[in-house]
Structure 1
Amino acid sequence: MRNRLIAALVFGCSSLALVAAPAPAEAKRVLVCKTVNVKKKANTGTVIGAVAGGVLGNQIAGNGARTEGTLLGAGVGAVAGHEIAKSNAKKKRRCHYEYR
């Protein structure tokens, strides 16, 4: 009888301790966005655009003006590649939710 009384008392005290324990504060869900490195992407676009523009300018230019066509095509391609890569990089954002 005594063992049952002690067991009931211990069980009752332990269940009261669980009920009285404070509940943890709820974490807030926060959206975190990370942008892509725009400068690195724009530089890559500049190089690719310059090479492609140079090749295209060389092919389009007449027989006597291949050097000028290559240089002009490389310049135009570099500017176009830079702008295209920069605008595409700004659109790409990596977002995820974090609990804080």
Structure 2
Amino acid sequence: MRKLFAPTALIATAIAMASMPVAADARTRTHKVWTCERDVRHAANTGTVVGAIGGAVLGSAVAGHGAKTEGAVIGAGLGGLTGHQLAKKNAKKNCHYVYRRY
């Protein structure tokens, strides 16, 4: 009887282990993801356009009589750069990390 007990127990244990799900397959993974409620790139591009137009108008108005074009070009460049940075900063205020399970 004892001679049959050890092999039978070994076979039963092997069958039980084979039928159990593998722990790695059943496990879920959690990732930290940066999400924004607004599209930051779209907001920054809009800020660039609005800033460039405003800067061009202001640069043309401030420039001297013979340098209206140069004032508009410089104002458009500075206004576009400033508008881009401000809009991007304001859009990122609604961004945060979220934990997601996969």
Q: What's the TM-score, normalizing by structure 2?
A: 0.58
Q: Post-superposition, which runs of at least 4 consecutive aligned residues in structure 1 deviate over 6 A?
A: none
Distance 2:43 2:94 in 1: 11
Distance 2:89 2:95 in 1: 12
Distance 1:47 1:69 in 2: 17
| CA RMSD of superposed structures (Å) | 2.1
Identity of aligned pairs, percent? 52
For 1:4, the equivalent position in structure 2 comes to none
For 1:43, the equivalent position in structure 2 comes to 45
Q: How many residues align?
A: 64
Distance 2:62 2:91 in 1: 30
Unmatched tracts of structure 2, length 5 or more:
1-33, 97-102
Distance 2:93 2:59 in 1: 30
Deviations 1:51-74 (A, max 9, x none): 000000000000000000000000
Q: What's the TM-score, normalizing by structure 1?
A: 0.59
State which of 47, 67, 76 in structure 2 corresponds to 1:74.
76
Unmatched tracts of structure 1, length 5 or more:
1-32, 95-100
Counterparts in 2 of 1:8-87, with a 5 A limit?
34-35=35-36, 36-87=38-89
Distance 2:62 2:94 in 1: 34
